[in-house]
Amino acid sequence: MPFKLPKHCFMKNAKNLFFLVIIVAICLLSFWFALKYVLNTEHPVLPVSSGDMCTVSSHCDGFSHPFAPTLHVGDLIFVQGIDPENVNSDYPDSDILVFYSPKQNPNDEDKLIITRVVEKQKVNGILYFLTKSDGKGKHKWPKKPDMTECDYWLDYRENYAYNGMISEKLLVGKVIFRIPWIGHILLFISSYFGLLFAIIVIVLLVAVKVLIPKLKERKPKPL
Protein backbone atom coordinates (compact mmCIF):
# COMPACT_ATOMS: atom_id res chain seq x y z
CA MET A 1 0.00 0.00 0.00
CA PRO A 2 1.57 3.33 -1.09
CA PHE A 3 2.27 5.88 1.62
CA LYS A 4 0.46 9.22 1.30
CA LEU A 5 1.16 12.37 3.17
CA PRO A 6 -1.85 13.89 4.91
CA LYS A 7 -3.46 17.00 3.47
CA HIS A 8 -2.14 19.23 6.23
CA CYS A 9 1.41 18.51 4.97
CA PHE A 10 0.60 20.06 1.61
CA MET A 11 -1.01 23.03 3.30
CA LYS A 12 2.11 23.41 5.39
CA ASN A 13 4.28 23.37 2.24
CA ALA A 14 2.08 26.05 0.68
CA LYS A 15 2.36 28.20 3.79
CA ASN A 16 6.13 27.71 3.92
CA LEU A 17 6.43 28.79 0.29
CA PHE A 18 4.25 31.85 0.94
CA PHE A 19 6.31 32.88 3.96
CA LEU A 20 9.53 32.30 2.02
CA VAL A 21 8.36 34.67 -0.73
CA ILE A 22 7.37 37.26 1.88
CA ILE A 23 10.76 36.99 3.63
CA VAL A 24 12.67 37.35 0.34
CA ALA A 25 10.55 40.38 -0.60
CA ILE A 26 11.17 42.00 2.80
CA CYS A 27 14.91 41.36 2.54
CA LEU A 28 15.06 42.91 -0.95
CA LEU A 29 13.09 45.95 0.15
CA SER A 30 15.25 46.36 3.25
CA PHE A 31 18.40 46.13 1.15
CA TRP A 32 17.00 48.70 -1.30
CA PHE A 33 16.11 51.22 1.41
CA ALA A 34 19.47 50.65 3.10
CA LEU A 35 21.26 51.42 -0.18
CA LYS A 36 19.20 54.59 -0.62
CA TYR A 37 20.18 55.70 2.87
CA VAL A 38 23.87 54.79 2.63
CA LEU A 39 24.37 56.21 -0.88
CA ASN A 40 22.12 59.20 -0.19
CA THR A 41 20.10 59.05 -3.42
CA GLU A 42 16.68 57.92 -4.63
CA HIS A 43 18.30 55.82 -7.38
CA PRO A 44 21.30 53.96 -5.87
CA VAL A 45 21.35 51.13 -8.45
CA LEU A 46 20.54 51.42 -12.16
CA PRO A 47 20.98 49.28 -15.29
CA VAL A 48 22.56 50.98 -18.31
CA SER A 49 20.16 50.73 -21.24
CA SER A 50 21.85 53.07 -23.72
CA GLY A 51 25.15 52.77 -25.61
CA ASP A 52 25.78 56.54 -25.59
CA MET A 53 28.61 56.20 -23.07
CA CYS A 54 30.32 53.37 -24.97
CA THR A 55 33.47 54.38 -26.89
CA VAL A 56 34.36 50.99 -28.37
CA SER A 57 31.81 50.65 -31.17
CA SER A 58 28.76 52.31 -32.67
CA HIS A 59 26.62 49.40 -31.46
CA CYS A 60 27.29 48.61 -27.82
CA ASP A 61 26.04 45.20 -26.72
CA GLY A 62 27.90 45.12 -23.40
CA PHE A 63 29.17 41.56 -23.99
CA SER A 64 32.14 41.84 -26.34
CA HIS A 65 34.04 44.50 -24.35
CA PRO A 66 32.70 44.53 -20.76
CA PHE A 67 35.88 45.82 -19.15
CA ALA A 68 36.67 48.62 -21.60
CA PRO A 69 36.61 52.13 -20.05
CA THR A 70 33.35 54.06 -19.48
CA LEU A 71 29.90 52.43 -19.47
CA HIS A 72 28.19 49.83 -21.65
CA VAL A 73 24.71 48.45 -22.22
CA GLY A 74 23.92 45.92 -19.50
CA ASP A 75 26.20 47.43 -16.86
CA LEU A 76 24.77 47.66 -13.37
CA ILE A 77 25.88 50.98 -11.92
CA PHE A 78 25.92 52.20 -8.33
CA VAL A 79 25.08 55.87 -7.84
CA GLN A 80 26.01 58.04 -4.87
CA GLY A 81 24.42 61.35 -3.96
CA ILE A 82 26.89 64.22 -4.13
CA ASP A 83 27.06 67.90 -3.28
CA PRO A 84 27.09 69.74 -6.64
CA GLU A 85 30.01 71.80 -5.38
CA ASN A 86 32.08 68.61 -5.08
CA VAL A 87 31.48 67.39 -8.64
CA ASN A 88 34.78 66.83 -10.43
CA SER A 89 34.74 68.67 -13.76
CA ASP A 90 38.42 68.06 -14.61
CA TYR A 91 37.87 66.39 -18.00
CA PRO A 92 38.70 63.63 -19.02
CA ASP A 93 38.86 62.41 -15.40
CA SER A 94 35.61 64.18 -14.56
CA ASP A 95 32.64 62.52 -12.90
CA ILE A 96 29.99 60.50 -14.70
CA LEU A 97 26.69 61.83 -13.39
CA VAL A 98 23.07 60.75 -13.35
CA PHE A 99 20.46 63.48 -13.87
CA TYR A 100 16.73 63.70 -14.22
CA SER A 101 16.14 64.52 -17.84
CA PRO A 102 15.13 68.15 -18.54
CA LYS A 103 11.51 68.59 -19.58
CA GLN A 104 10.13 70.39 -22.61
CA ASN A 105 6.62 70.60 -21.19
CA PRO A 106 4.71 69.65 -18.00
CA ASN A 107 3.47 66.39 -19.54
CA ASP A 108 6.94 64.90 -20.06
CA GLU A 109 7.66 61.74 -18.08
CA ASP A 110 10.41 61.59 -15.48
CA LYS A 111 13.46 59.97 -17.05
CA LEU A 112 17.07 59.47 -16.00
CA ILE A 113 20.13 60.25 -18.11
CA ILE A 114 23.77 59.26 -17.66
CA THR A 115 26.48 61.57 -18.98
CA ARG A 116 29.94 62.96 -18.19
CA VAL A 117 30.78 66.45 -16.96
CA VAL A 118 32.94 68.56 -19.28
CA GLU A 119 32.74 71.87 -17.42
CA LYS A 120 30.73 73.49 -14.65
CA GLN A 121 29.67 77.09 -14.18
CA LYS A 122 27.86 78.95 -11.42
CA VAL A 123 25.22 81.46 -12.45
CA ASN A 124 23.23 83.43 -9.85
CA GLY A 125 24.23 80.93 -7.17
CA ILE A 126 23.19 77.85 -9.17
CA LEU A 127 25.65 75.37 -10.66
CA TYR A 128 25.18 74.31 -14.26
CA PHE A 129 27.04 71.47 -15.97
CA LEU A 130 28.21 71.21 -19.55
CA THR A 131 28.02 67.50 -20.39
CA LYS A 132 28.79 64.99 -23.12
CA SER A 133 28.21 61.25 -23.45
CA ASP A 134 31.57 59.51 -23.92
CA GLY A 135 30.60 57.70 -27.12
CA LYS A 136 28.95 60.58 -28.95
CA GLY A 137 30.50 62.85 -31.56
CA LYS A 138 33.77 62.72 -33.46
CA HIS A 139 35.94 63.22 -30.38
CA LYS A 140 35.11 60.28 -28.15
CA TRP A 141 36.32 60.16 -24.56
CA PRO A 142 39.08 60.81 -23.47
CA LYS A 143 39.63 63.29 -26.32
CA LYS A 144 38.56 66.84 -25.54
CA PRO A 145 35.25 67.48 -27.31
CA ASP A 146 34.27 70.52 -29.35
CA MET A 147 31.52 72.66 -27.89
CA THR A 148 29.27 71.61 -30.76
CA GLU A 149 29.59 67.95 -29.67
CA CYS A 150 28.40 68.58 -26.12
CA ASP A 151 24.84 68.01 -24.96
CA TYR A 152 22.50 70.96 -25.31
CA TRP A 153 19.78 70.84 -22.66
CA LEU A 154 16.53 72.79 -22.65
CA ASP A 155 13.90 72.96 -19.91
CA TYR A 156 10.66 74.92 -19.76
CA ARG A 157 11.21 75.54 -16.04
CA GLU A 158 13.30 78.40 -14.74
CA ASN A 159 16.85 77.62 -13.54
CA TYR A 160 16.77 74.00 -14.76
CA ALA A 161 18.94 74.71 -17.81
CA TYR A 162 21.17 77.57 -18.93
CA ASN A 163 22.82 78.05 -22.33
CA GLY A 164 22.53 74.32 -23.02
CA MET A 165 23.92 73.33 -19.61
CA ILE A 166 21.95 71.25 -17.11
CA SER A 167 21.17 72.51 -13.62
CA GLU A 168 22.21 71.08 -10.26
CA LYS A 169 18.47 70.94 -9.52
CA LEU A 170 18.28 67.82 -11.71
CA LEU A 171 21.33 66.08 -10.25
CA VAL A 172 20.71 62.56 -8.89
CA GLY A 173 24.29 61.53 -8.10
CA LYS A 174 27.57 60.30 -9.53
CA VAL A 175 28.48 56.84 -10.74
CA ILE A 176 30.92 55.25 -8.30
CA PHE A 177 31.00 51.62 -9.44
CA ARG A 178 29.79 49.33 -12.19
CA ILE A 179 29.30 45.60 -12.66
CA PRO A 180 29.29 44.31 -16.27
CA TRP A 181 26.40 42.19 -17.65
CA ILE A 182 24.24 42.06 -14.49
CA GLY A 183 22.16 44.99 -15.66
CA HIS A 184 20.83 42.86 -18.53
CA ILE A 185 18.83 40.88 -15.95
CA LEU A 186 17.08 44.01 -14.64
CA LEU A 187 16.50 45.29 -18.17
CA PHE A 188 14.89 41.97 -19.11
CA ILE A 189 12.71 41.78 -16.00
CA SER A 190 11.54 45.38 -16.47
CA SER A 191 10.44 44.61 -20.04
CA TYR A 192 6.99 43.23 -20.90
CA PHE A 193 8.31 39.77 -21.83
CA GLY A 194 10.57 39.71 -18.79
CA LEU A 195 7.68 40.46 -16.45
CA LEU A 196 5.57 37.82 -18.18
CA PHE A 197 8.41 35.31 -17.83
CA ALA A 198 8.78 36.08 -14.11
CA ILE A 199 5.03 35.55 -13.55
CA ILE A 200 5.13 32.22 -15.42
CA VAL A 201 8.10 31.04 -13.33
CA ILE A 202 6.29 31.94 -10.09
CA VAL A 203 3.14 30.12 -11.22
CA LEU A 204 5.17 27.03 -12.15
CA LEU A 205 6.94 27.02 -8.79
CA VAL A 206 3.60 27.20 -6.99
CA ALA A 207 2.26 24.38 -9.20
CA VAL A 208 5.24 22.15 -8.47
CA LYS A 209 5.11 22.77 -4.73
CA VAL A 210 1.36 22.78 -4.15
CA LEU A 211 -0.89 21.78 -7.05
CA ILE A 212 0.92 18.75 -8.44
CA PRO A 213 1.03 16.90 -5.07
CA LYS A 214 -2.67 17.60 -4.61
CA LEU A 215 -3.48 16.21 -8.08
CA LYS A 216 -1.50 13.08 -7.32
CA GLU A 217 -3.47 12.67 -4.11
CA ARG A 218 -6.74 12.68 -6.04
CA LYS A 219 -5.76 9.86 -8.39
CA PRO A 220 -8.26 6.95 -8.18
CA LYS A 221 -7.16 4.05 -6.05
CA PRO A 222 -6.25 0.86 -7.95
CA LEU A 223 -8.88 -1.90 -7.70
On whether residue 223 sits in a domain, the answer given is no
On whether residue 91 sits in a domain, the answer given is yes
On whether residue 1 sits in a domain, the answer given is no
In this structure, the answer to whether residues 61 and 85 fall within a common structural domain is yes
In this structure, the answer to whether residues 136 and 31 fall within a common structural domain is no
In this structure, the answer to whether residues 134 and 207 fall within a common structural domain is no
In this structure, the answer to whether residues 103 and 19 fall within a common structural domain is no
Pick the residue with more confidence: 66 or 211?
A: 66
SS (H, E, C) the chain: CCCCCCHHHHHHHHHHHHHHHHHHHHHHHHHHHHHHHHHCCCCCEEECCCCCCCCCCCCCCCCCCCCCCCCCCCCEEEEECCCHHHCCCCCCCCCEEEEECCCCCCCCCCCEEEEEEEEEEEECCEEEEEEECCCCCCCCCCCCCCHHHCCCECCCCCCCEECEEEEHHHEEEEEEEEECCCHHHHHHHHCHHHHHHHHHHHHHHHHHHHHHHHHHHCCCCCC
In this structure, the answer to whether residues 52 and 142 fall within a common structural domain is yes
Q: How many domains would you assign to the chain?
A: 2
In this structure, the answer to whether residues 27 and 94 fall within a common structural domain is no
On whether residue 5 sits in a domain, the answer given is no
On whether residue 6 sits in a domain, the answer given is no
| Residues 70-79: tens digit of each pLDDT | 898 888 999 9
Asked whether the whole model's pTM tops 0.85, one would answer no
The pLDDT of residue 169 is 96
Residue 9 has pLDDT above 60, yes or no: no
In this structure, the answer to whether residues 163 and 87 fall within a common structural domain is yes
Domain that holds residue 172: 45-181
Type of residue numbered 118: V
Residue 108 has pLDDT above 50, yes or no: yes
The pLDDT of residue 219 is 57
CA distance 163 to 173: 22
On whether residue 106 sits in a domain, the answer given is yes
| Residues 110-163: tens digit of each pLDDT | 999 999 999 999 999 999 999 999 988 889 999 989 889 999 999 999 999 999
In this structure, the answer to whether residues 176 and 190 fall within a common structural domain is no
